[in-house]
Every structure is written in C-alpha cells, then in structure tokens.
C-alpha cells in the first residue's frame, strides 16, 4: 500500500498561492494605472476552476475528450486563471475603468486569502512532519 504524501488538497493550496500571487500583480497594476487614460481594469478568474478540480474525488475521474472541458479533473497544476477586462460601472471621460476604492478592497481581500492559504500549507506540512516523526515517539 503506497501513501500519497502530497495529496490533492496540498496541490490545490499550492496552486491557490500561485494564482493569488498572479491576481495580486494584476490588482496592483490596476491601482498603478488608475490615472492612465484608456486603461481597462483587468481581473483574474480562477476560483471556479480550482474549486471544481478540488471537488472531484480522485477515484472518480471524469471521462473527457479535451482537457480544457469544464469539469475535467485533470492535474491541478494545469489550472490557469483567465485574465479579462473587468466589468464594472466605472468609465471615466478618459476611458479609464479603474475603481481605485474597489481595487484597494480587492487587494486586501486577495492578500487575506493568500495568507490563509499559506497558513493552511504550513499546518498541513506540520502535520506531515509530525506523522513522519512517528507522532512524537
């Protein structure tokens, strides 16, 4: 019987850290360009794809003809976010669509979620370390 040390949860947390880091860069770019005429605020969408990948049981692999299909239970490392122009009600006369207050809120929320994921990775690795050390014996 083989034990899978790095399970799908840990893989998902690691991927979440990568994608949240990418989201932080995009949000920061939005804020930095809040006074740039014509700049279109961007957004990274990945939560749905990551959640879907994590909810499919490892033993229940969906049959798929294309790895890009929604609901595919492919490798978590293959999940990428999709960057698109943000849809909001902000369009200034100069064509800029950045809502600085909303972006600052998004930056804060994303950072909190990044920190939470990092804490979970740390706890999960701590549990593995404890298990490897034979539970402290």
pLDDT band at 71 (very low <50, low <70, confident <90, very high): very low
Indicate whether 70 pLDDT > 80.
Answer: no
Indicate whether 63 pLDDT > 70.
Answer: no
pLDDT band at 4 (very low <50, low <70, confident <90, very high): low
Q: What is the domain partition of the chain in residue ranges? A: 8-132
Q: Which of 3-17, 34-48, 76-90 has the lowest mean pLDDT?
A: 3-17
Per residue in 88-132, pLDDT (tens digit) is 888 899 999 999 999 999 999 999 999 999 999 999 999 888 888
d(CA 19, CA 4): 24
Q: Which of 17-21, 43-47, 52-56, 57-61 has the lowest mean pLDDT?
A: 57-61
Phi/psi for 60 (5° steps) reads: -110, 85
CA of residue 82 relative to chain centroid, distance: 11
């Amino acid at each position: 019987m083989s034990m899978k040390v790095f399970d799908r949860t840990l893989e998902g947390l690691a991927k979440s850290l990568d994608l949240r880091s990418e989201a932080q860069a995009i949000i920061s770019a939005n804020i930095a360009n809040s006074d740039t005429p014509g700049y279109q605020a961007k957004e990274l969408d990945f939560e749905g794809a990551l959640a879907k990948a994590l909810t499919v049981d490892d033993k229940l692999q969906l049959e798929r003809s294309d790895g890009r299909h929604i609901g595919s239970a492919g490798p978590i490392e293959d999940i990428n976010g999709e960057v698109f122009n943000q849809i909001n009600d902000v369009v200034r006369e100069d064509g800029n669509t950045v809502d600085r207050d909303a972006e600052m809120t998004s930056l804060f929320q994303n950072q909190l979620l990044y920190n939470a994921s990092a804490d979970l990775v740390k706890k999960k690795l701590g549990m593995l370390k404890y298990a490897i050390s034979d539970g402290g014996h």
